[in-house]
Structure 1
Amino acid sequence: VLSDELPESNCFKTFEAIDNAPEEKTRGITIHLCTVGYSTTCRHYAHTDCPGHADYIKNMIIGTSRMDAAILVVAATDGVMPQTKQHIALTKQIGVEQLIVFINKADVVDQDMLELAELEVRELLELFGYRNTPVVAGSALLALSGDQGEYGVKAIHRLLKALDEVIVQPERDDQSPFMLMVDHTYSIRGRGTVGTGVVYRGVVKKHTEIEVLGFGQRLKSNIADLEIFKKPVPFAKAGDSVGVLLRGIQYRKLRRGMTICPKKTVPMTNHFHVTLYCLTAKEGGLGEPILSTHFGHAFIHVFSSAVRLDHDQEFIMPGETVDVSVTVSKPIAILTGTRLVYRSLNGHIIGYGLVKKALKPVVLVDGRLKKAIVPPLKQEEEVAMEETQS
Structure 2
Amino acid sequence: MGDFIKMSFYIVGTAGHIDHGKTELSKTLTGIMTDRLKEEQNRGISIQLGFAPLVLSDGSKVGLVDVPGHERFIRQMLAGVGGMDIILLVIAADEGIMPQTKEHLDIANLLGIKNLIVVLTKKDLVDDEWLELVKDDIKIYLEERGYKNTPIIAVDSISKTGINDLKAALNTEIKKLPTKEKGVFPRLPIDRAFSLTGFGTIITGTLWSGEIKVGDTLELLPHKKQVKVRNIQVHGEDKPIAEAGQRVALNIPDIAVKDVVTGSLLIKEHFIKPTYKIVTYFSLLGDKKALKNRQKVRLYLGTTEVLGRLILLENDSLESGNSMFCAFYLDKAINCTKGDRIIVRTQTPMETIGGATIIDTEGKHIKRKNKEYIQLLERKMAGSPEETFLDSLIDTPMATKESLSKLLEMSIDSILELIENCGDEVILIKNNYLAKSTYDYFKNNMMNYINQYLEKHPLRQGVPKEEIRTKVFSSLTSKEYNNLLFLFEEKEGIMVKGDSISLVNYKPIINEKTASIIQKIERLYAKDGFNTRSLEEYATLLKINKKDLFEYIQHLQQQEIFIKIGEELFLLNTVFAANKEKIINFIKKEGSIKLSEARDILDSSRKYVLPFLEYLDYKKITKRQDDVRILF
Of Structure 1 and Structure 2, the greater helix share is in: 2
CA shift in 2, pair 1:171/1:266, >3 Å: farther
- Mean CA deviation greater in 218-227 or 323-332: 323-332
- Mean CA deviation greater in 186-195 or 231-240: 186-195
- For 2:31, the equivalent position in structure 1 comes to 12
User: Once the 2 structures are TM-superposed, how far is the Cα of residue 22 of structure 1 from its aligned partner?
Assistant: 4.0
CA distance in 2, matches of 1:114, 1:190: 52
- Show CA shifts across 1:43-62 (max 9, x none): 21211112223343333222
- Mean CA deviation greater in 111-120 or 34-43: 34-43
1:1-390 aligned at under 5 Å gives the runs 12-13=31-32, 17-40=33-56, 41-143=58-160, 152=161, 155-167=162-174, 168-214=176-222, 217-281=223-287, 286=288, 288-312=289-313, 313-345=315-347, 346-359=349-362, 376=367
- Mean CA deviation greater in 97-106 or 248-257: 248-257
SS of equivalent to 1:161: helix
1:42–1:164 CA contact under 8 A, matched in 2:
no
CA distance in 1, matches of 2:136, 2:297: 35
Q: Which runs of 5+ in 2 are unaligned?
A: 1-28, 378-436, 449-632
User: Once the 2 structures are TM-superposed, how far is the Cα of residue 376 of structure 1 from its aligned partner?
Assistant: 4.2
CA distance in 2, matches of 1:264, 1:291: 36
- Show CA shifts across 1:99-120 (max 9, x none): 1111112122111101011111
Higher RCO structure (Cα 8 Å, ≥6 apart): 1
- 1:223 counterpart letter in structure 2: V
Of Structure 1 and Structure 2, the greater strand share is in: 1
User: Once the 2 structures are TM-superposed, how far is the Cα of residue 11 of structure 1 from its aligned partner?
Assistant: 6.7
- For 2:544, the equivalent position in structure 1 comes to none
- Show CA shifts across 1:236-261 (max 9, x none): 11101101222422221112322211
SS of equivalent to 2:96: coil
1:228–1:241 CA contact under 8 A, matched in 2:
yes
2:194–2:202 CA contact under 8 A, matched in 1:
yes
SS of equivalent to 1:130: coil
- 1:188 counterpart letter in structure 2: L
- 1:303 counterpart letter in structure 2: T
1:179–1:201 CA contact under 8 A, matched in 2:
yes
2:220–2:227 CA contact under 8 A, matched in 1:
yes
- Show CA shifts across 1:119-175 (max 9, x none): 1111111111111111111211112xxxxxxxx2xx111000001112334432323
Runs ≥4 residues deviating over 6 A: none
SS of equivalent to 2:170: helix
- Show CA shifts across 1:25-54 (max 9, x none): 333222321011121233212111122233
Normalised by the length of structure 1, the TM-score is 0.82
1:185–1:256 CA contact under 8 A, matched in 2:
no
Q: Which runs of 5+ in 1 are unaligned?
A: 1-9, 144-151, 362-373
CA distance in 1, matches of 2:212, 2:156: 40
1:308–1:328 CA contact under 8 A, matched in 2:
yes
1:93–1:352 CA contact under 8 A, matched in 2:
yes
CA distance in 2, matches of 1:36, 1:58: 20
CA shift in 2, pair 1:248/1:23, >3 Å: closer
SS of equivalent to 1:182: strand
User: Once the 2 structures are TM-superposed, how far is the Cα of residue 328 of structure 1 from its aligned partner?
Assistant: 2.5
CA shift in 2, pair 1:25/1:209, >3 Å: closer
2:117–2:150 CA contact under 8 A, matched in 1:
yes
2:307–2:332 CA contact under 8 A, matched in 1:
no
SS of equivalent to 1:140: coil
- How large is the Cα RMSD of the aligned pairs? 2.7
CA distance in 2, matches of 1:330, 1:210: 22
User: Identity percentage over the alignment?
Assistant: 24
SS of equivalent to 1:18: coil
User: Once the 2 structures are TM-superposed, how far is the Cα of residue 227 of structure 1 from its aligned partner?
Assistant: 0.9
- Show CA shifts across 1:222-275 (max 9, x none): 222211122110101110110122242222111232221112212211221111
CA distance in 2, matches of 1:81, 1:11: 26
CA distance in 2, matches of 1:31, 1:248: 28
CA distance in 1, matches of 2:271, 2:72: 37
1:213–1:332 CA contact under 8 A, matched in 2:
no
CA distance in 1, matches of 2:78, 2:218: 28
- For 1:369, the equivalent position in structure 2 comes to none
- Show CA shifts across 1:338-369 (max 9, x none): 001101002122211101111259xxxxxxxx
CA distance in 1, matches of 2:89, 2:30: 23
- For 2:493, the equivalent position in structure 1 comes to none
CA distance in 2, matches of 1:11, 1:79: 25
1:226–1:232 CA contact under 8 A, matched in 2:
yes
